Amino acid sequence: PLTLEVKRQKRAQKHTQARRLTQEQIRPGTPEPVEGRVHVDVQTELYLEEISDRIIEVDGECQTDEFLDRPPTPLFIPAKSGKDVATQIEKGELFDFDIEVKPILEVLVGKTVEQALLEVMEEEELSQLWSHQRAFAELRNAEFAELQRLEEQDRRIREEKERRRLEHLEKLRKQKETAEKIAARAFAQRYLADLIPSVFNNLHDSGFFYDPIERDIETEFLPWLMSEVEEELQKKVLGRMMLDSLIRMVVETRLDEFSRPPPAAQTKGPAEEPGATDAAPKMSGEEDAADQPAAEKEETDQPIAEEEPS
């Protein structure tokens, strides 16, 4: 009894320790302290206890009695129930063993043989069932394999059909796209057939396409030629104007000289010398005749000078 109690106590202590460990494991842990701080254990119980790293130990002594020898365990004898009764059977009162046992033995043997036959028939039947089951399993496996083959064939046929259908659709789409491209190309060619020449003609008319020599002549040579011709014409006009002004001055001077009355000495002189007087008018007539073409030339040249700058 003492050993049982000690074992029970040890078991209880182990149970409490295991429960405490599980509670400590289940209890959520405290998060890590912030940098610069440290966790410290604080007592929150009503009575303070001294906490130290080493548990206080005290030595003690005790003396126990010596163990006595255990007596041997007595045999188990169940309690007696009922009453003892005796009877007397004489010979021939019950039955004849040889006579009475024969039918029982026949029945037992017959039942045993029948049971053996039934077991043999069951074994035969089981063997036949197993053979039928194996045949059925083989047939089922063969049918299942054939079914899988047919399903795979059907799947391949469906995939091939779907692939052919997609190829046909893709072919039709490409044919349609090709026809549209051909139509667009023909329309573009027919549309651009007259567009390109007209564009080039417009650009040529606008001056984008030109002969460099002709353009050089038009932009460099002709302006220079026109400026030189204009300068030359201006020089000619200026010369003619100066000539006209000189002729006009000469004519006016002579007209003034001839319009003034002659002096007395000059009047007598012509009377005495008629040839001289006759020659003077003649000379003046010649001078007028000589001046008349110059005036006519001036009149004829003036419109030309006025027309040439235009």
> What are the tens digits of pLDDT across the range 151-191?
999 999 999 999 999 999 999 999 999 999 999 999 888 88
pTM, whole model, 2 decimals? 0.26
What digits encode the pLDDT tens for the residues 81-124?
888 888 887 777 777 777 878 888 889 999 999 999 999 999 99
Task: Give a yes or no: residue 125 inside a domain.
Answer: no
The answer to whether residues 240 and 305 touch, using CB atoms and an 8 Å cutoff, is yes
Is the separation of the CB atoms in 227 and 288 below 8 Å?
no
Do the Cβ atoms of 242 and 233 come closer than 8 Å? no
Per the domain annotation, does 272 fall within a domain?
Answer: no
Has residue 248 been placed in a domain?
A: yes
Range of the domain at 240: 212-257
Whether residue 69 is contained in a domain is answered as: no
- Does 206 fall in a domain? no
CB 291 within 8 A of CB 251: yes
Domain count, the chain: 1
Can you tell me the mean pLDDT for 184-210? 81
Residue environment code for 264-276, b if the CB has 16+ CB neighbours within 10 A, otherwise e? eeeeeebeeeeee
Question: What per-residue confidence (pLDDT) applies to 265?
Answer: 55
Pairwise pLDDT comparison (286 vs 15), residue with the higher score: 15
